[in-house]
A and B are shown apart, each in its own frame.
Chain A
Amino acid sequence: MKIHKYDTVIVGAGGAGMRAAIESTKRSRTAVLTKLYPTRSHTGAAQGGMAAALANVEEDNWEWHTFDTVKGGDYLVDQDAAEILAKEAIDSVLDLEKMGLPFNRTPDGTIDQRRFGGHSRNHGEAPVRRSCYAADRTGHMILQTLYQNCVKEGVEFFNEFYVLDQLITEVDGVKRSAGVVAYELATGEIHVFQAKAVIYASGGCGKFFKVTSNAHTLTGDGQAAVYRRGLPLEDMEFFQFHPTGIWRMGILLTEGARGEGGILRNKDGERFMEKYAPVMKDLASRDVVSRSIYTEIREGRGCGPEGDHVYLDLTHLPPEQLDAKLPDITEFARTYLGIEPYTDPIPIQPTAHYAMGGIPTNVEGEVLADNTTVVPGLYAAGEVACVSVHGANRLGTNSLLDINVFGRRAGIAAAEYSQGADFVELPENPAELVVSQVEQLRSSTGTERVAVLRRELQETMDANVMVFRTEQTIKTAVEKLAELRERYKNVSIQDKGKRFNTDLLEAIELGNLLDLAEVMAVSALARKESRGGHYREDYPNRDDVNFMRHTMAYREVGDDGTESIRLDYKPVVQTRYQPMERKY
């Protein structure tokens, strides 16, 4: 075991982690621990764009953007945070441009902007062009630009280091962050990083679903690490199902395709979104479009022999426009489906896409231990966190924005904190939990296989807690998850070695997914209403009287070692906007 000491440790090198690192490295001695090489992070998969009311191509302002964000989130958004997001959006896009990001340009040479779902002029009047983009590779360009600037700033990376535990020490009855424990993939060695401040920027957890746009590595390690240490997770029942994933594979086809004029059609060729969202049509908010697609499928208007998908039709758009604005996604259709989007519609279905919930933080990125108390020295930003700017449903292009705005804020806040603070003493045997977890898996002779359990987990989640949920389906999932968690104790791996043992890490990642899936299902069961991404067929309406509040889920361990989940609730911050019915 090795012990390292840094002022600030950042967990994750996606957009949020690297944006934080650029700030934090300037102000404090910083280490970035990342399980992937930075440029492999899933921020690179983002396609469509990043929202900011630059007003480069038409009238726009940050207040309209705030309103759209709040409405898009079905009013579960903390409005003070949404206002910061929308205001700081403008500088955060300009900062990226100055760092070198090659945005698409208007004829005058300014940053070009395009339409995206849920973004409107003047509080819902008509779609507005607010998304700044670089073809359909905006995330790739953000990730590359941030990495380039990390190289420039000399950011210190520990690549292929998996953070598996959060260290917390109680000082005078206050829980404080003392550091993290990481596993080095290349050698199997365990490292303790003592740090004054720790920032989690470890991304989402979509891999508990089968059809998903998320990478294999998005397994919620950060959420699981803090949750296991008794800190809450907020709003985990809210998960976004993106309307247009490639049929069966889940690979994303950006909403920008509809922003450029693409149309969803059922088997009769009907533009069915006109029925469900007369104004915004195909560009209504994602939860609305995903439900509409499944309604079409359920009512027998789906395409294909099994009627289990619909079409994204781009055939009326000029090939030059597809080549210039959507080169990557049209190539995905060619590569993976053998379909030519110039002439043929693309089969799609909703795909599990984005975790609105996560580690609760305030607007400085400080992690909360309960509804109000912060954990000194602990920060989170990006998809792992819940500020909450996305509420019950995130608007497209608001996450690339989130990682830049709140990644920057967390980086500054953490570094400033660590400049004024002392190291917190490490707990005795800091690596104990990780050592025992690793040893247990390496020596286990159990009969359960990781791949089998993961498959069952993903199938259960797709079948029971996806776009449509009921008490019955969620209970089925909860029971199945309890069974899987029990069987997980009996899991064994084949690779017993130290070097590059990805067999071992997949087992650990599965454990994290199982923990988080359970939190999601239990939170969803208790929320007896429908709001944003959480749709209960047995409670189809939003219920502001009982549920205009954030869920806070805590892990409890009884005296006999039994684990359970305790749910509590946190008020929503409302400033300017009174909840209204959400129509598109």
Chain B
Amino acid sequence: MATPTLDKADAAGTPEPGFADSPYITATFRIRRFNSEVSAEATWEDFQLEIDPKERVLDALHKIKWDQDGTLTFRRSCAHGICGSDAMRINGRNRLACKTLIKDINPEKPITVEPIKGLTVLKDLVVDMEPFFQAFRDVMPFLITKDTNEPTRERLQTAEDRERFDDTTKCILCAACTSSCPVFWNDGQYFGPAAIVNAHRFIFDSRDEAAEQRLEILNDRDGVWRCRTTFNCTDACPRGIEVTKAIAEVKKALITRRF
């Protein structure tokens, strides 16, 4: 394993004009590879590259794919943390590759990149998201109202009522939380934090009238009671959602039936 060297890019070999004074470093990315067309086993593979530490892990993955090994496979789209495509385990922690700067994860040592856990790996960093989205769909993640005649204008909602569920509207369904949860690793039937977050988003929306139904769904043996409050999910969430708090609020609502 090569130790990364911190060398100033010299004037002649500056990879990007304008960054003349920015220190390019050599970093090693240790990536978990799996391709069933090649082998039934997953393996680690090291890639070395020159990179500006202010760039994202996603930029590094692109450099590897585009300049070294076109078979490296991962999902991505927006590249700035809003589409939820590229949750992965980076140095043992779930993060979005596009929201993680290399300088923030100690590039002195090899940086490990693996698929998120608890979902079947399909190829390299790509996992099967279907069970995750199924759990989301199972909590009835849409506004349900019982009024017989629709209001002609918008429904009214006070700013305070709107604030009540603001945090959980931020979810981008990246699965970083659910796939960092030890309960989910052991039992894929557990709804997982993301589904509960999205149930919370409606249970506490003053316009919604199906909180009882959603709470019953989450009262199931694979529902909220499985949560052991390890806070992994809150630490993992790239949107800064207080996931554990949302789960606790749902638990409380189940007991008090107030929301």
Contact = CB atoms under 8 A, between A and B. Distances in A.
A450 B65 CA distance: 11
B156 A109 contact: yes
A99 B66 CA distance: 42
A105 B162 contact: yes
A503 B79 contact: no
Interface residues of B, dominant DSSP: loop
B84 interface: yes
B99 interface: yes
Task: Pick the 10 closest A-B CB pairs, nearest first.
Answer: A100-B143, A494-B70, A451-B66, A109-B156, A148-B142, A503-B70, A152-B142, A495-B71, A500-B123, A97-B154
Contact of A503 (B18, B71, B153): B71
A445 to B, nearest CB: 14
B243 interface: no
A308 B18 contact: yes
Nearest to B159: A105
A124 B123 CA distance: 55
B156 A108 contact: yes
Interface string B55-96: 000000000011101110111111111111100000000000
B189 interface: no
Contacts of A328: 82
B182 interface: no
A39 interface: yes
A433 interface: no
A361 B39 CA distance: 49
B150 interface: yes
A495 B122 contact: no
Given A40-B78, A148-B143, 11 more contacts: A40-B77, A40-B85, A42-B78, A44-B78, A44-B172, A105-B159, A151-B142, A335-B101, A451-B67, A495-B73, A499-B36
B170 interface: yes
B155 A98 contact: yes
Contacts of A567: none
Interface string B111-135: 0000000000011101001000100
A503 B123 CA distance: 13
- Most chain A CB within 10 A, of B70, B75, B207, is at B70
A44 B142 contact: no
B154 A137 contact: no
Interface size class of A (residues with CB under 8 A): 35 or more
A450 B66 contact: yes
Nearest to A39: B173
Interface residues of B, number: 58
Given A251-B80, A336-B80, A500-B122, A100 B142 contact: yes
A569 interface: no
Nearest to B67: A451
Nearest to B79: A216
Given A97-B154, A109-B158, A493 B83 contact: no
Contacts of A40: 75, 77-78, 83-85
B122 A149 contact: no
Contact of A306 (B18, B74, B205): B18
A320 to B, nearest CB: 13
Interface in B156-181: 156-159, 162, 165-166, 169-173
A432 to B, nearest CB: 25
Interface in A316-347: 328, 332, 335-336, 338
A45 B150 contact: no
Given A40-B77, A151-B141, A102 B71 contact: no
A216 B77 contact: yes
A342 B238 CA distance: 22
Contact of A500 (B82, B126, B155, B208): B126
Nearest to A246: B80
Contacts of B159: 104-105, 107, 109
Contacts of B133: 37
Given A144-B169, A494-B70, A97 B80 contact: no
A126 interface: no
23 contacts: A36-B77, A37-B133, A39-B173, A44-B78, A45-B80, A98-B155, A100-B142, A102-B157, A104-B162, A134-B169, A140-B82, A144-B169, A216-B77, A251-B80, A335-B101, A451-B67, A494-B69, A494-B71, A498-B37, A499-B35, A499-B123, A500-B123, A502-B65
Nearest to B136: A151
B194 to A, nearest CB: 11
Contacts of B38: 497
A308 B19 CA distance: 13
A499 B66 contact: no
A215 interface: yes
A405 interface: no
A291 B133 CA distance: 44
- Most chain B CB within 10 A, of A98, A215, A502, is at A502
B205 A102 contact: yes
